[in-house]
């Protein structure tokens, strides 16, 4: 099972910088947490402040250790990223994510069934690096199965789609009322 | 006693416990059998579907999935030399040589029977020790709970693999995600960006699905495993008669599994490797290990199944998950408003009894299901990976919508998938993030309650003997893991 990609000093350097920025941003947002008399001896901003400092310190440690490795070893050839293979593999991983995002954008427009069929067809074709008729068949079968499971069996109110419901009075079921949203948030979504 | 019996009978007859146990084991076996699909993925895919269930059925389903995945992982380990789960790594060492020697069915039989043996031992341990452990937990003050939380995080960092610094950073990231939402003591909103939806925090299910399932799919898409070679095996009930001499290995494996399951962050893989080494050391036929020894299959299989049960002891009684799979089960409990901890036994005895009954069912149905699933599992393993990956992506995105009937939730899952993917590629362990996330509330509220009770005096963490002991243990563990050698993995 692939657990992690090749970890290089360069990657760690970049990541340490990103984590440093994250720590700074998180610390900056911590300053905006209001204090309350109900908080007790330690207020609501204490833990976030501590975490921001900890992350900042650890990203600095990561930066130093990565810098030391980078300057000492100059990345041995066995650890170097092969641009083609790694670039290709990253593209496949990110491609799956972008197709997922595309599905989410199409969902309110085309509805669950059609968007799902497109998602399955497009992602299978992307992973096999060509589009075949059987991908479309698989997409239709997969979408049909999931439609039966989630919509017909479990009754999940997936969006019907603004295009597919044109001319009918049925409402798009996606957006719940504001009251529901506030209610579920106040009840604690966890 | 009569109440207990009637509740067990009620669970068996009037609730969907049997279906949940059978379905969970079956789902887990298929999930475990697919190389690359960890029990965490199988569990996180189910998590959104449990929203509509009652808490007992949901927990039985999740725990049964974990149990089923442990056996499922051994199928490709024995037949195609590819462990389906991390915990099945040690099973490869003797399982595959047995298959090469024409004893594949016998190895599967040993794996199944040893898994059930380890499971039964683990179940007895869970039933016997969860109530005393919860009584012990009642003695814990908020300061002691804080100490326990710190010890758990220290253990998680210590066992986080190649880089402990990255493990520590992962813990901090998990705690940071956990601070989003309303402050547990004062009710002040933190990091909600003015969004009402974030007042309750980010849903655990979305984070778990994104970090584990989506990121793993992206990794698999990036490094597609080759289609497994075709293999054929006839697995019949007669293969369940296991050879003499394996009992000792099963006992060793179960003992190691019980102990390791209670340690935060250890999980089945470490237990399996340790039990394999111990079984080899204490075997009369140590020379056979690595060449197809039945004991070499029995010990790790008993161990990783025992872990699946014993890891529930700290999860249920202290609210401290022992592994990432038990962290997902803990998330399942929290989603249903069940707060694990010492009061769980007092306030929800029915839930615990239903869980025990469901786990007993799940353990026993493993035998018939284990015999039946071999063919379908081998068929599934042989399918081209793109089809499996896209099927799972479709299931994930549909499941993410179910959480709150919101497209935004599915977007959050993809966002956490991207974060998980970047962290995986850069060598960060993900389990510490989830465990820290689930412990944020316990850590922060215990720390602040302890200070409220002591009028702001930090000396409370030293004057409470349990808290002081646990914090000292956490410091020692941190130093030992920072200076010690890496554990064999």
Task: Give the distance between the most distant pair of CA atoms in chain A.
Answer: 69
Q: Is A62 left (phi over 0), alpha (psi -120 to 50) or beta?
A: alpha
Q: Show which of residues 404-443 on chain B sit within 8 Å of chain A, judged by CB atoms.
A: 404-407, 410-411, 414, 417-418, 421-422, 424-428
> What is the arithmetic mean of pLDDT over B198-206?
84
Q: Which two tokens stand for residue B192?
A: 């909600």
Of how many residues is chain B composed? 489
Closest CA to B482 of B171, B234, B168: B168
Q: Where are the alpha helices (DSSP H) in chain A?
A: 9-30, 46-73, 83-110, 112-128, 133-146, 178-187
Which residues of A are less than 8 Å from B219 in CB distance?
2-3, 5, 93
Q: Is A129 helix (H, G, I), strand (E, B) or coil?
A: coil
Q: Return mean pLDDT, chain B.
A: 84
Residue B47 is classified by DSSP as: G
Q: Say if the ipTM goes beyond 0.85.
A: no
CB B69 within 8 A of CB B39: yes
The Cα–Cα gap between A165 and A180 comes to 24
Q: Show which of residues 188-217 on chain B sit within 8 Å of chain A, judged by CB atoms.
A: 188, 190-191, 196-201, 203-204, 214, 217
Q: Show which of residues 131-150 on chain A sit within 8 Å of chain B, judged by CB atoms.
A: 138, 142-143, 146, 149-150
| Contact state of A39 with B407 under an 8 Å Cβ cutoff | no
The Cα–Cα gap between B271 and B86 comes to 11
Closest CA to B366 of B8, B90, B104, B21: B21
Residue from the list A7, A89, A181 with its beta carbon closest to the beta carbon of B222? A89
pLDDT tens readout for residues B107-166: 889 999 999 999 999 999 998 888 888 888 888 889 998 998 898 888 888 776 667 889
- Note the pLDDT of residue A58: 94
Residue from the list A35, A40, A62 with its beta carbon closest to the beta carbon of B165? A62
Q: Is B230 helix (H, G, I), strand (E, B) or coil?
A: coil
Chain B nearest CA to A165, separation (Å): 18
Q: Is B161 left (phi over 0), alpha (psi -120 to 50) or beta?
A: left
Split at pLDDT 50, 70, 90, the class of B36 is low
Element (DSSP H or E) covering residue B190: strand B189-190
Cβ-proximal residues to B284 (8 Å cutoff; 6+ apart), any chain: B245
- Note the pLDDT of residue A7: 53
Q: In chain B, whose CA is at the least distance from the CA of A20?
A: B169
Residue from the list B188, B199, B204 with its beta carbon closest to the beta carbon of A34? B188
Chain A nearest CA to B454, separation (Å): 10
- Note the pLDDT of residue B485: 52
Write down the residue that tokens 């253990």 correspond to: B155
Closest CA to B413 of B205, B146, B103: B205
The Cα–Cα gap between B12 and B362 comes to 12
The Cα–Cα gap between B405 and B457 comes to 46
Q: Is B181 helix (H, G, I), strand (E, B) or coil?
A: strand
The Cα–Cα gap between B33 and B117 comes to 20
Q: Is A172 helix (H, G, I), strand (E, B) or coil?
A: coil
Write down the residue that tokens 């655990």 correspond to: B204
> Is A100's Cβ below 8 Å from some Cβ in B?
yes
Which residues of B are less than 8 Å from A130 in CB distance?
none
Q: Is B141 left (phi over 0), alpha (psi -120 to 50) or beta?
A: beta
Q: What is the 3-state secondary structure (H, E, C) of B283-322?
A: CCCHHHCCCCCHHHHHHHHHHHHHHHHHCHHHHHHCCCCC
Judged against a pLDDT cut of 80, whether residue B79 lies above it is answered with: yes
Q: Which two tokens stand for residue B40?
A: 């965490």
N-to-C CA span, chain A: 31
Q: Which residue has the higher pLDDT, A9 or A107?
A: A107
Which residues of A are less than 8 Å from B162 in CB distance?
7
CB B227 within 8 A of CB B217: no
The Cα–Cα gap between B103 and B116 comes to 20
Judged against a pLDDT cut of 80, whether residue A32 lies above it is answered with: yes
Judged against a pLDDT cut of 70, whether residue B231 lies above it is answered with: no
| Contact state of B185 with A44 under an 8 Å Cβ cutoff | yes
Q: Report the 10 Å Cβ neighbour count for A125.
A: 19
Q: Which two tokens stand for residue A187?
A: 């009840």
Chain B nearest CA to A167, separation (Å): 24
> What is the arithmetic mean of pLDDT over B383-404?
86
Let me know the angle formed at the C-alpha of B476 by B470 and B478, rounded to the nearest 5 degrees. Answer: 100
The Cα–Cα gap between B111 and B299 comes to 9
Write down the residue that tokens 């990203």 correspond to: A59
Judged against a pLDDT cut of 60, whether residue B178 lies above it is answered with: yes
> Is B31's Cβ below 8 Å from some Cβ in A?
no
Each as own residue / partner, the long-range contacts of residues A137-142 (CB below 8 Å, 24 or more positions apart, any chain) are A138/B387, A138/B390, A142/A116, A142/A117, A142/B390, A142/B391, A142/B394
N-to-C CA span, chain B: 45
Which residues of B are less than 8 Å from A116 in CB distance?
394, 398
pLDDT tens readout for residues A150-181: 888 878 888 887 776 665 554 455 444 433 44
B231: exposed, middle or buried (Cβ count in 10 Å: 0-12, 13-18, 19+): middle
Judged against a pLDDT cut of 70, whether residue A100 lies above it is answered with: yes
pLDDT tens readout for residues B3-22: 767 777 776 666 677 888 99
Report phi then psi at B189, rounded to 5: -75, 140
> What is the arithmetic mean of pLDDT over B352-380?
86
Q: Return mean pLDDT, chain A.
A: 78
Which residues of A are less than 8 Å from B393 in CB distance?
96, 99-100, 119-120, 123
């Amino acid at each position: 099972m692939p657990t992690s990609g090749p970890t290089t000093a360069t990657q760690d350097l970049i990541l340490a910088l990103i984590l440093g920025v994250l720590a700074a941003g998180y610390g900056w947002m911590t300053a905006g947490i209001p204090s309350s008399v109900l908080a007790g001896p330690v207020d609501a901003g204490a833990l976030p402040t501590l975490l921001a400092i900890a992350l900042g310190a650890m990203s600095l440690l990561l930066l130093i250790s990565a810098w030391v490795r980078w300057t000492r070893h100059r990345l041995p050839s066995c650890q170097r990223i092969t641009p083609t293979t790694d670039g290709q593999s990253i593209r496949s991983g990110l491609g799956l994510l972008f197709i997922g995002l595309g599905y989410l954008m199409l969902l309110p427009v085309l509805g669950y069934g059609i968007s799902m069929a497109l998602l399955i067809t497009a992602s299978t074709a992307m992973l096999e690096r060509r589009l075949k008729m059987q991908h479309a068949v698989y997409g239709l079968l997969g979408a049909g199965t999931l439609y039966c499971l989630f919509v017909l069996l479990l009754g999940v109110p997936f969006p019907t789609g603004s295009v597919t419901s044109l001319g009918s009075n049925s409402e798009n079921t996606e957006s719940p009322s504001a009251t529901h949203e506030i209610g579920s948030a106040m009840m604690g979504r966890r | 006693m009569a109440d207990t019996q009637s509740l067990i009978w009620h669970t068996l007859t009037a609730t969907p416990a049997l279906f949940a146990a059978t379905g969970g084991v079956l789902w887990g076996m298929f999930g475990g059998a697919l190389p690359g699909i960890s029990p965490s993925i199988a569990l996180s895919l189910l998590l959104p579907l449990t929203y509509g269930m009652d808490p007992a059925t949901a927990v039985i389903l999740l725990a049964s999935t974990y149990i089923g995945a442990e056996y499922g992982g051994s199928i490709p380990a024995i037949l195609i030399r590819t462990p389906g789960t991390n915990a099945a790594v040690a099973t490869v060492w003797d399982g595959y040589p047995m298959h090469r020697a024409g004893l594949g069915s016998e190895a599967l039989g040993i794996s199944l029977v040893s898994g059930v043996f380890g499971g039964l031992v683990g179940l007895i341990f869970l039933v016997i020790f969860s109530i005393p452990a919860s009584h012990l937990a009642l003695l814990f003050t908020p300061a002691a709970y804080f100490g326990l939380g710190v010890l758990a995080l220290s253990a998680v960092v210590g066992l986080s693999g190649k880089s402990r610094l990255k493990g520590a950073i992962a813990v901090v990231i998990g705690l940071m995600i956990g601070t989003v939402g309303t402050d547990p003591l004062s009710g002040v909103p933190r990091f909600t960006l003015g969004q009402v939806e974030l007042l309750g925090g980010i849903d655990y299910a979305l984070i778990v699905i994104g970090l584990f399932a989506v990121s793993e799919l992206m990794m698999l898409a990036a490094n597609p495993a080759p289609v497994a070679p075709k293999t054929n095996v006839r697995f019949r009930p007669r293969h369940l008669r296991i050879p003499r001499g394996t009992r000792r290995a099963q006992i060793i494996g179960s003992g190691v599994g019980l102990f390791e399951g209670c340690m935060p962050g250890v999980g089945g893989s470490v237990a399996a490797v340790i039990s394999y080494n111990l079984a080899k050391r204490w075997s009369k036929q140590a020379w056979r290990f690595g060449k197809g020894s039945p004991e070499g299959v029995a010990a790790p299989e008993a161990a990783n199944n025992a872990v699946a049960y014993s890891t529930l002891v700290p999860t249920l009684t202290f609210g401290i998950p022992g592994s990432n799979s038990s962290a997902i089960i803990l998330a399942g409990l929290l989603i249903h408003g069940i707060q694990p901890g010492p009061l769980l036994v007092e306030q929800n005895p029915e839930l615990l009894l239903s869980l025990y009954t469901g786990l007993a069912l799940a353990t026993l149905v493993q035998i018939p299901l284990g015999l039946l699933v071999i063919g379908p599992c081998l068929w599934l393993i042989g399918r081209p990976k793109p089809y499996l990956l896209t099927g799972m992506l479709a299931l994930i995105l549909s499941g993410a919508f179910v959480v709150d009937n919101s497209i935004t939730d599915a977007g959050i899952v993809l966002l956490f998938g991207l974060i998980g993917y970047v962290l995986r590629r850069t060598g960060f362990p993900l389990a510490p993030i989830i465990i820290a996330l689930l412990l944020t509330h316990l850590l922060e509220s215990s720390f602040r309650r302890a200070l409220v009770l002591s009028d702001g005096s930090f000396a409370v963490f030293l004057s409470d003997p349990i808290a002081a002991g646990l914090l000292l243990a956490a410091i020692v563990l941190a130093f030992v893991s920072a200076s010690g050698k890496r554990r064999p993995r």
